[in-house]
Amino acid sequence: MTAPRILALAAACFALLTLAVITLDTTAVDVPVRDALLAHASPGLLAAMRVINRAGSWKVLLPATVLLVLAVPRARARWWLWIGLMLVAPATEGLLKTLVGRPRPEDLSMGFPSGHATAATAFFGALIHLAQGLPRPARRLVSVVAVVVIVLVAVARVTLRAHWPTDAAGGIALGAALASAAALIDRRRAS
């Protein structure tokens, strides 16, 4: 799928999720999904989720972005774009949390969209784009691992009781839209 199509799909998904969160009672979807995840939340799984959760934290993603820019010539050529992406993602997510004003399941702070899911998807989405120059098996491996990490971070946010499932889904959609926009800029600058 091309960057413009992913951007359009992700933006549409984010818009629909945002509209649903603002205008509808999403607990009919959120509560059963959350309860199903929490039903499997053994101490071992929670420990694993705490580790996976870090893949959406700035404490991991900041050095990972710097490493990506230093290690990948294609990223280094437009370093400002990838650093900018990782600055715009939390700024956008933070602004949207304030505008939407939806509380987290067990906290009064704002939860939609999930910042960890947004940041992880922005970073790993950029990684998928930057891997396009790799041989096919390596490109597929990077893509599969990146998607698995994105999904696991979203699941971790719900399992760790930090977000509703729609918060995590909104973060994935927002992060994918932002990463796709950056990929589109990268492709246009390259041609």
pLDDT per residue as tens digits for the range 36-45: 999 999 999 9
Give the pLDDT of residue 2. 84
Q: Taking Cα atoms as reference points, which of 180, 159, 188 lies closest to residue 34?
A: 159
Contact between 91 and 120 under an 8 Å Cβ cutoff? The reply is no
Rg over alpha carbons for the chain, rounded to the nearest Å, is 16
Give the pLDDT of residue 189. 80
| Structural tokens at position 29 | 């979807």
Give the pLDDT of residue 171. 98
Computed from CA positions of residues 108, 97, 171, 126, in that sequence, does the dihedral angle turn out positive or negative?
Answer: negative
pTM of the model: 0.95
pLDDT tens column, 109-127: 999 999 999 999 999 999 9
pLDDT of 24 over the 90 cut: yes
pLDDT tens column, 123-145: 999 999 999 989 999 999 999 99
Give the pLDDT of residue 108. 87
Average of per-residue pLDDT values in the chain: 95
